[in-house]
């Protein structure tokens, strides 16, 4: 029997801690310091979320890139 699995693990913004905290490493736009969470998706439906253990990340307000704050500081 063929089983077609569509799912995956996403990382998304859970909470904005500080707006305009850094610069995007890809496009140079202002990025927000955010708390992220991991989302397990099955057939594009989120079935489980839990806090990311990596700590705060920077999220670009222009292109949406998530990256570690160490990359966005001067
Ligand atoms: Zn960007």
Does the structure show a pLDDT above 80 at 4?
Answer: no
- Confidence check: pLDDT of 72 > 80: no
Which protein residues have a CB closer than 5 Å to ligand 1 (ion)?
24, 26-27, 29, 60, 62-63, 65
Q: Residues 37, 14: contact at Cβ < 8 Å?
A: yes
Task: Give residue 35 CA to ligand 1 midpoint distance, Å.
Answer: 17
Average per-residue pLDDT for the chain: 88
- DSSP state for residue 70 in the 8-state scheme: H
Q: What is the pLDDT of residues 13-46, one digit of tens each?
A: 999 999 999 999 999 999 999 999 999 998 888 8
User: What is the pLDDT, as a whole number, of residue 19?
Assistant: 97
The answer to whether 46 touches 37, Cβ cutoff 8 Å, is no
**Across 40-57, average pLDDT:** 88
pTM higher than 0.85: no
What is the distance in A from the centroid of ligand 1 to the CA of 28? Answer: 6
What is the per-residue DSSP string for 10-52? EEEEEEEEEEEEEE-TTT--EEEEEEEEEEEEETTEEEEEEE-
């Amino acid at each position: 029997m063929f089983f077609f699995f569509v799912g995956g693990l996403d990382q998304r913004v859970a909470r904005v801690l500080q707006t305009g905290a850094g610069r995007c490493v890809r496009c140079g736009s202002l990025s927000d310091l955010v708390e992220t969470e991991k989302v397990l998706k099955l057939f594009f439906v989120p079935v489980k979320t839990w806090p990311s253990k990596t700590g705060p990340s920077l999220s670009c307000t222009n292109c949406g890139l998530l990256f570690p704050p160490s990359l966005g500081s001067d």
